[in-house]
Amino acid sequence: MKKQNELKTSFLAIPENESLARVISASFVSQLDPTIEEITDIKTAVSEAVTNSIVHGYENSGIGMVCLNCTAMGETITVEVIDSGKGIEDIKKAMEPMFTSCPEQERSGMGFTVMETFMDKINVTSVPGVGTKVVMTKIIKSKLL
Catalytic status, residue 16: no
Residue spans per domain, the chain:
4-143
Considering the candidates 59, 80, 107, 116, report the single residue annotated as catalytic. Answer: 107
Q: What is the pLDDT of residues 53-100, one digit of tens each?
A: 999 899 999 999 999 999 999 899 999 999 999 998 877 766 665 555
Identify the pLDDT of residue 115. Answer: 85
Q: 143: pLDDT confidence band, cut at 50, 70 and 90?
A: low
Edge-to-edge strands of the sheet including 76-83? 4-12, 65-73, 76-83, 131-139, 121-127
Task: Note the pLDDT of residue 49.
Answer: 95
Indicate the SS3 state at residue 7.
strand
Would the pLDDT of 101 be above 60?
no
pTM assigned to the model? 0.88
Which pLDDT value is given to residue 113? Answer: 80
Residue 104 has pLDDT above 60, yes or no: no
Beta carbons of 50 and 76 less than 8 angstroms apart: no
Is 75 labeled as catalytic in the residue annotation?
no
102: Cβ–Cβ under 8 A, 6 or more apart, which residues? 55, 56
Q: Is 52 a catalytic residue?
A: yes
Which pLDDT tens digit goes with each residue over 2-38? 669 999 999 999 999 999 999 999 999 998 999 999 9
Superfamily of domain 4-143: Histidine kinase-like ATPase, C-terminal domain (3.30.565.10)
